Structure 1
């Protein structure tokens, strides 16, 4: 649809993260838990491996305890005769524990990767499906680069949170509890001293949490802006090159890139300071506790082997503690991304099927608008009390100046929008009482911009009917006056088009879009500005194609080009959202109103155009005028 007819946007919502709150862990699990549920076997396996890893971590220092207490420092007694056997067992135990730790760690890592990728794919697919169903207004006010970032970077952050981060946190918590239990048995006084360090760690975490949240939100917003600028510039590369604005766009991208670097560095500095503060607390605590443990050994309360276990657990204790202390910051960072995804998933389309919606039948009598009003925002109507009736098998042209509401009528007829007031009818059925899928099998739209994919001509024409035969595709191309130029392409129907059909002319792109509509075989066809931006030769070719396509169909042509409207059975003139004139071409010319003025501005008010007869019909133009433009080369 033409943006000029879309009307003002309703209170645009900024796409940045500033409008989205950070999700707490419980809300994240409630929101994304359904994506984890199908992967429960992998989750259970990862959990069991995490428990096994905790057990292996607890076993690590015990061979060293026996090395010190039974071999190296046996309490001043005589050296045991079986010391070599004991030493061999200790060495085997050390190697076995290390090997087991490696195997368990590798298996756990693979299980988490498997679950994480499956969960990410499920979230990404659900998000993509939901984006496809959201209303056009949402896509119009949300940059494509921002949506792309949500599908990629944001989903990856949430994947890491749901798998690695939470499993690691659970493993670390289990490890800490197990170590505390063992240490309490070894020496409760040292254990109490160790636990006294934890409040200081929590205080350090709390002092950094708000700052980490702020810099992460800013980094996420700047990242989305950078992606949006890149996507926008790449799409408009032809305009940029044609206007010599390459350097300007490079500077604009460089500026956003510098902003992104600065935001990431702010996040890195904050994380570095936070990690340094935590490490400093841990280092001081470890030094103090090792000194206290040495005093306990000298006092005879602990054996050297006990001190080895305590020191090893102390090192391993503060590793998980440090990781858990950073968990709030990780939750904050992932929470920003999760909130963006959840915000999109909770949005509902403006157009939804009613629970009792019926399957649409092909229209037998008419399509109509009855008293239709429409506004994109309250108080800013785009259409006002519009009444239109299109009998089945006829062609209606809707014309008017830019911003009159023409493309909004196209959206309403195809139920891309619902009217604010009044009804849109298929025969006597309100479109809101019909299922959207069944409606779209009967009412097809050819948008103003012919959307072509980076695929073969055959695949582009058959987009709405992938199973169509080669004969059906060729017939559709012939009806749309596209067959001849398609055959002139390097590989004919198998020619792979450039992105958005960039190597074809506007007229060629439009005729391929018409061929797609023919193959879809809708009995009602809505054409939104089919000749906009075309030169006279291309316009002539498209108009002839339109006559072929509309033959036998109910057709609504939305246009501001009078040449496209002249051959319609009926013409409606819109101005400021109201129907101001209606009739056939010669009647409207005779009335001398807005239609006459538009024809005059386009040089179509001569005697030959005042009469709508065979001499003005495109079907009776000379053979020279009916020649199609030569096909332009397509990339190999």
Structure 2
């Protein structure tokens, strides 16, 4: 099954590559004329030695030189044109897959390397398509033509050229075999070091606060040393074959001159043929030499192609769904079961409950009981392995992801801000946020005043980690983001974990406002104040729904300190 999926991923890449056929045929056509024009230098040299020097005709020299200059100008223009075409072919290939790859890695957030790795794989393929390696591939078929031209001068010159070309091809094949392992290890080691450095950067404040700087550096440095070691091994191996190829090619050209000089002394060829044969040999072997020198780029692109095929195979293209009307806030969960990838045990088992418009449901349970997993299922991030989740009577998978994001607002347990303004973050990173809707969401979340207190208000730019906002401020801005667009269901995962009393009151006011306009709210909570506005309560333990029903009834039945919790809710406490 996995092999069939991989074939589908490869076919998707190949289908995009087939769209470049027109451009590649243009490159092939230009390559024909470029390689024909490469005969200019040896023919010019042959004419100089055999005709101009013999006749001592200046007019012939001038005419040949002007013709040679024109032909080289044409060759330069055509060579530049095919390089431009290849650059645009690579750009077209990347542009055609950018959205597909970006969407695929977002649907696989746990995939090693995340978005960066997937897009780097695509970039590696694009760089190969735009590189001189492709022009070398179009030039290599002309190598036999040049070798045949050398053989016309004299069979011994042809034998030397063919034998030397065979040795260079052998070096290329050996280069591929011997460098594949080191290059793969170097790529993996570099990725691990970069991934660790990025994690340390994102969590830099926590690393410093916990006194982990020294340990973090040592751990990163150990990973970095492995990366450097593997890169040095790969570089040494590539350098070895590159130097071998370059040295042998230069030796071969000199040997061609030497053999040509001997044959000229024997009167079997002219001095012009001796020089022309050496030039032709250089032209014939140049593409092979280019392939050897650029082999690291080829290997990286091959690895990227394979990784892209696996990524696309594991995340098939989402089919277009019929746009459903805006649903009401009726949520139905029936026998929901979720088994994490690679796990043998479900984190949610046979969970069933209903939530109607105007109601709020509190979900409580110990850490690791499955509350956050339930929240992620309800937002469409995780697909259930069994059971159904319906919104407005339709299964969640009947809604397009973008539409579902508009209908279900989500405040995750750990709020993250993205680079951009506060208004852009509230509006879901829209390039042109609806200012009226942004302010309305912030006011409902009780974040309007705190945003206005910032130096640039809603236009304050945030760093990827959320600076300069504090944890509590990010929580309230995150709540505004969840409310933006007036979703029909609001899913809040530990919404008051970083809030003070004022923030908790603002949260409760927002929950009431959502219910008053006919929406529904789900709150995953530990603290009593978070379920103050809840009419219903669901207790989850070890992935199983232990009890569901009216809040006070469930509390009295299953929670020992129910009286204290109810008192705290009545008083609006935050314990």
Aligned match of 1:53: 34
Aligned match of 1:608: 567
| CA pair 396-465 structure 1, distance change in 2 beyond 3 A | farther
Find the aligned partners of 1:165 and 1:465 in 2 and give their Cα distance: 39
SS of residue paired to 2:484: helix
Aligned match of 1:184: 151
SS of residue paired to 1:346: helix
Q: Tell whether the 8 Å contact from 2:488 to 2:520 is kept in structure 1 after alignment.
A: yes
**1:139 offset after TM fit, Å?**
1.4
SS of residue paired to 2:469: coil
Cα offsets for 1:488-508 (capped at 9, x unmatched): 221222222333422223332
**1:33 offset after TM fit, Å?**
4.4
**1:148 offset after TM fit, Å?**
1.3
| CA pair 445-360 structure 1, distance change in 2 beyond 3 A | farther
Cα offsets for 1:425-452 (capped at 9, x unmatched): 2354433455544444433222222332
Aligned match of 1:543: 508
Find the aligned partners of 2:511 and 2:407 in 1 and give their Cα distance: 18
| CA pair 29-303 structure 1, distance change in 2 beyond 3 A | farther
SS of residue paired to 1:222: helix
| CA pair 388-457 structure 1, distance change in 2 beyond 3 A | same
User: In the TM superposition, what are the counterparts of 1:202-217 in structure 2 within 5 Å?
Assistant: 202-217=169-184
Residue 564 (structure 1) aligned to one of 527, 530, 538: 530
Find the aligned partners of 1:466 and 1:316 in 2 and give their Cα distance: 52
| CA pair 359-116 structure 1, distance change in 2 beyond 3 A | closer
Find the aligned partners of 1:352 and 1:172 in 2 and give their Cα distance: 41
Residue 62 (structure 1) aligned to one of 39, 43, 50: 43
| CA pair 203-498 structure 1, distance change in 2 beyond 3 A | closer
Q: Tell whether the 8 Å contact from 2:417 to 2:466 is kept in structure 1 after alignment.
A: yes
Q: Tell whether the 8 Å contact from 2:334 to 2:350 is kept in structure 1 after alignment.
A: yes
Q: Tell whether the 8 Å contact from 1:465 to 1:520 is kept in structure 2 after alignment.
A: no
Aligned match of 2:383: 418
Find the aligned partners of 2:515 and 2:138 in 1 and give their Cα distance: 67
Cα offsets for 1:506-564 (capped at 9, x unmatched): 33222222222333111121112211244445434433433334433111111122211
Cα offsets for 1:129-155 (capped at 9, x unmatched): 3223x2xxx3124234xx414423x33
Cα offsets for 1:57-77 (capped at 9, x unmatched): 1111222212211233x2xxx
**1:329 offset after TM fit, Å?**
6.6
Find the aligned partners of 2:277 and 2:395 in 1 and give their Cα distance: 77
| CA pair 509-550 structure 1, distance change in 2 beyond 3 A | farther
| CA pair 466-194 structure 1, distance change in 2 beyond 3 A | closer
Residue 483 (structure 2) aligned to one of 509, 514, 518: 518
SS of residue paired to 1:178: helix
Higher relative contact order, chain-length normalized (CA < 8 Å, sep 6+): 1
Aligned match of 2:472: 507
Residue 348 (structure 1) aligned to one of 292, 315, 330: 315
Unaligned ranges ≥5, structure 2:
none
Aligned match of 1:299: 266
Aligned match of 2:116: 148
User: In the TM superposition, what are the counterparts of 1:431-580 in structure 2 within 5 Å?
Assistant: 431-463=396-428, 469-552=434-517, 553-580=519-546
SS of residue paired to 2:109: helix
Q: Tell whether the 8 Å contact from 1:589 to 1:605 is kept in structure 2 after alignment.
A: no
Find the aligned partners of 2:284 and 2:154 in 1 and give their Cα distance: 15
Cα offsets for 1:68-108 (capped at 9, x unmatched): 11233x2xxxx55xx12123224334444444444333333
Aligned match of 2:86: 112
Find the aligned partners of 2:93 and 2:327 in 1 and give their Cα distance: 44
> Would you say 1:127 and 2:101 are equivalent positions?
yes
Q: Tell whether the 8 Å contact from 1:557 to 1:565 is kept in structure 2 after alignment.
A: yes
Aligned match of 1:6: none
Find the aligned partners of 2:478 and 2:101 in 1 and give their Cα distance: 28
> Would you say 1:139 and 2:109 are equivalent positions?
yes
Cα offsets for 1:170-229 (capped at 9, x unmatched): 332243133123223332342133213333333333434322000110111012112201
**1:233 offset after TM fit, Å?**
0.7
Q: Tell whether the 8 Å contact from 2:46 to 2:273 is kept in structure 1 after alignment.
A: yes
Aligned length: 569
